[in-house]
């Protein structure tokens, strides 16, 4: 699995970080987009976890998404979650909600709805993608996945290796 790591403060103004001249450090692109993903995750309606995604090309935001029910349908925070269980080939059990669409898929759907090409773009996600989202990210032509928190990375290692998609951890602090 091709994995890298980048760290940095996501919100320099609240961290008090300054450069050698005493001026406040400018926010880097990776930290900026990861903070945007964290802000977007605050719209999530899933009661089990809030995930945000930002699709970017050439330092421009193309599309965003968060996890929740399809537009116009009841959200998990309005009704009970409908959980189903699936078993991976290694025997581990995964639980998912029937109502929820993951942030990455919602970001892809938003781009498609508005006719925005995301081929050769990158994605910033507050958590690494599940195996199902990774398969879709491969098919739409995402080149690099930047994530903050790891989520079952062992399940996606082989697909990452075969696809050539880069997986890079960006530690967001104080977003």
Instruction: State which of 22-31, 72-81, 92-101, 114-123 shows the largest mean pLDDT.
Output: 114-123
**Does 76 or 61 have the greater pLDDT score?**
61
Q: Do residues 38 and 171 touch, judged by C-beta distance below 8 A?
A: no
Catalytic residues: 104
What percentage of the chain carries pLDDT values higher than 90?
56
pLDDT classification of 117: cutoffs 50, 70, 90: very high
Residue 163, pLDDT score: 95
Q: How far apart are CA 67 and CA 52, in angstroms?
A: 7
Q: How far apart are CA 157 and CA 75, in angstroms?
A: 31
Helices (H) and strands (E) in the chain, counts: 5, 8
The binding site comprises: 102, 130, 133
pTM of the model: 0.83
**Does 134 or 15 have the greater pLDDT score?**
134
Q: For domain 29-69+101-169, give the CATH superfamily.
A: Cytidine Deaminase, domain 2 (3.40.140.10)
The binding site for Zn(2+) comprises: 102, 130, 133
Domain extents for the chain?
29-69+101-169
pLDDT classification of 21: cutoffs 50, 70, 90: low
Q: How far apart are CA 19 and CA 145, in angstroms?
A: 29
Instruction: State which of 15-24, 82-91, 148-157 shows the largest mean pLDDT.
Output: 148-157
**Does 75 or 159 have the greater pLDDT score?**
159
pLDDT classification of 1: cutoffs 50, 70, 90: very low
């Amino acid at each position: 699995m091709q994995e890298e790591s980048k760290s940095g403060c996501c919100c320099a103004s609240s961290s008090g970080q300054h450069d050698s001249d005493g001026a406040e450090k400018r926010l880097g692109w990776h930290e900026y987009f990861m903070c945007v993903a964290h802000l977007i995750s605050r719209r999530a309606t899933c009661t089990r976890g809030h995930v945000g995604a930002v699709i970017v090309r050439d330092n421009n935001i193309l599309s965003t998404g968060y996890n929740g029910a399809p537009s116009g349908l009841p959200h998990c925070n309005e009704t009970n979650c409908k959980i189903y269980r699936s078993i991976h080939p290694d025997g581990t059990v995964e639980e998912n909600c029937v109502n929820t669409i993951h942030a990455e898929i919602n970001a892809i759907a938003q781009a498609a709805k508005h006719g925005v090409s995301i081929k050769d773009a990158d994605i910033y996600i507050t958590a690494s993608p599940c195996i199902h989202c990774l398969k879709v990210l491969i098919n739409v032509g995402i080149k690099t996945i930047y994530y903050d928190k790891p989520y079952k990375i062992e399940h996606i290692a082989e697909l990452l290796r075969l696809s050539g998609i880069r997986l890079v951890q960006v530690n967001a602090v104080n977003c």
